[in-house]
Amino acid sequence: MAGMQRRSLVLAAGAALAGAAGPLRAQAYPARQPIRYIVPVAAGGGSDMVGRTVTERWGRVLGQSFVVENQGGGGGLIAAQNLLKSRPDGYTLMQGYVSTHGTSPATRKLGYDPVRDFTPVGMIGGTPNVLVVSSALAGVTDFKSFMDYARRNAGAVAYGSAGPGSLTHLVMELFKQQASVNLTHVPYRGIAPAFTDLIGGQTQVMFPGLAAAVPHIRSGRVRALAVTGVRRAPQLPETPTLDELGYPGFDAQQWYGVVGPAGLPSEVTKVLNDSLAQVLAAPDLREKLSVEAIEPTIMTSAQFGAFIRADLARWTQLARERKIELD
């Protein structure tokens, strides 16, 4: 009888320790090692700046250091594949964005599923796109005069993009579809040469991200006609949204967020999401990200997952309808 009592006590103690293990593991995260943060572009530029700015502050909130690794190439494919080889323990994260989880999967055959293979941690924020024309384009001073010009010259008006399947390509195709206007696509290898030819008159119109466009707008070399999103951009308060101009729901944007590999424990995801929300709520971060015209946006993991699914569905449907397939 005494032996049975001792065995019961041992089992009870073991059960108590096992019950405590889950909360202890959650409380301990992150404590084992620095957190790898993969940015799927080369060092330098806006996306890299976003990652380094956020993780610098995030590390202070979590009391753990982040190590930023730039893994450019393949439109984010290399970075995504490396993330998916890592353990789902919260010590390897990736900065997902509209290319890795929206436009590229919509137009290319990739080695990953942008929904099933990832755990959404949280949104960072986004920046709108802006419809711009060369300031030298005769008679075009606003959105209405551009539409009149485009319809008078159907098929002869060219738009530049940062490349096939890029956001600048797909946003314009979405606009062409909704506005029933015929524009000819001229793809470039990056946004800089596309701007060069727009300013030089080789193309007439473009739909770049706001951060890339603002310097050219302020210099007077290009003219802003409209922005995407549900409200006007603070950087361009006089420029109407497409929603105001009669195209409701045109809220395409260059967005950034954080993802982990599939199977990330829910308690770890919550620690990461809660701490990321603290970072995004800080006024100094808003000021820092305004350099890239990014509006910080706090979302739960579930909300961010729903956002990714909706954005992917938008671009997949557009690519199918416009017959944009790059493989």
- pLDDT value at residue 21: 38
Whether pTM exceeds 0.75: yes
Question: Does 193 or 22 have the greater pLDDT score?
Answer: 193
Angle at 237 between CA 141 and CA 96, to 5 degrees: 105
Q: Could you say which of 227, 245, 264 is where a domain stops?
A: 227
Contact at 8 Å (CB) between 103 and 166?
Answer: yes
- pLDDT value at residue 241: 98
Q: Is 26 helix (H, G, I), strand (E, B) or coil?
A: helix
Q: Do both 150 and 209 map to the same domain?
A: yes
> Does the pLDDT at position 18 exceed 70?
no
Predicted confidence band of residue 17 (pLDDT cuts 50, 70, 90): very low
List pLDDT tens digits, range 94-142: 999 999 999 999 999 999 999 999 999 999 999 999 999 999 999 999 9
List pLDDT tens digits, range 145-169: 999 999 999 999 999 999 999 999 9
- Which residue is listed with tokens 């995407």? 228
Contact at 8 Å (CB) between 266 and 88?
Answer: no
Q: Do both 64 and 88 map to the same domain?
A: yes
Percentage, residues of the chain above pLDDT 70: 92
Q: Do both 72 and 144 map to the same domain?
A: no
> Does the pLDDT at position 2 exceed 70?
no
* Nearest residue to 258 via CA among 208, 298, 314: 298
Q: Do both 314 and 301 map to the same domain?
A: yes
Nearest-angstrom CA–CA distance, 168 and 119: 27
Could you tell me the CATH number of the domain that includes residue 134? Answer: 3.40.190.10
Query: What is the arithmetic mean of pLDDT over 211-231?
Result: 96
- pLDDT value at residue 196: 98
Q: Is 277 helix (H, G, I), strand (E, B) or coil?
A: helix
Percentage, residues of the chain above pLDDT 90: 87
Nearest-angstrom CA–CA distance, 153 and 68: 48
Q: Name the helix (H) or strand (E) containing 132.
A: strand 130-134
> Does the pLDDT at position 244 exceed 70?
yes
> Does the pLDDT at position 19 exceed 80?
no
Domain hosting 214: range is: 130-227
Predicted confidence band of residue 6 (pLDDT cuts 50, 70, 90): very low
Could you tell me the CATH number of the domain that includes residue 301? Answer: 3.40.190.150
Query: Which residues sit opposite 94 in a β-bridge?
Result: 38, 259
Query: What is the arithmetic mean of pLDDT over 183-188?
Result: 98
- pLDDT value at residue 73: 87
Query: What is the arithmetic mean of pLDDT over 271-294?
Result: 96
Q: Do both 175 and 39 map to the same domain?
A: no
Q: Do both 96 and 55 map to the same domain?
A: yes
Nearest-angstrom CA–CA distance, 218 and 200: 17
Predicted confidence band of residue 188 (pLDDT cuts 50, 70, 90): very high
Predicted confidence band of residue 9 (pLDDT cuts 50, 70, 90): very low
Predicted confidence band of residue 10 (pLDDT cuts 50, 70, 90): very low
Tally of domains in the chain = 2
Q: Is 233 helix (H, G, I), strand (E, B) or coil?
A: coil
Q: Do both 91 and 136 map to the same domain?
A: no
Q: What residues contact residue 177 under an 8 Å CB cut-off, 6+ apart? A: 318, 321, 322
Of the listed ranges 9-18, 82-91, 191-200, the least confidently predicted one is 9-18
Task: Let me know if residue 7 belongs to a domain.
Answer: no
Query: What is the arithmetic mean of pLDDT over 193-220?
Result: 97
- pLDDT value at residue 312: 98
Query: What is the arithmetic mean of pLDDT over 214-223?
Result: 97
Q: Tokens at residue 208, please?
A: 């770049």
> Does the pLDDT at position 52 exceed 50?
yes
- The dihedrals phi and psi of 188, each to the nearest 5 degrees, come to -125, 170
Task: Let me know if residue 48 belongs to a domain.
Answer: yes
> Does the pLDDT at position 216 exceed 60?
yes
DSSP string for 149-188: HHHHTTTT-EEEESSTTSHHHHHHHHHHHHHT---EEEE-
CB neighbourhood size of 125 (10 A):
23
Q: Do both 140 and 110 map to the same domain?
A: no
Q: Could you say which of 170, 192, 227 is where a domain stops?
A: 227
Q: Do both 100 and 187 map to the same domain?
A: no
Q: Tokens at residue 226, please?
A: 């409209």
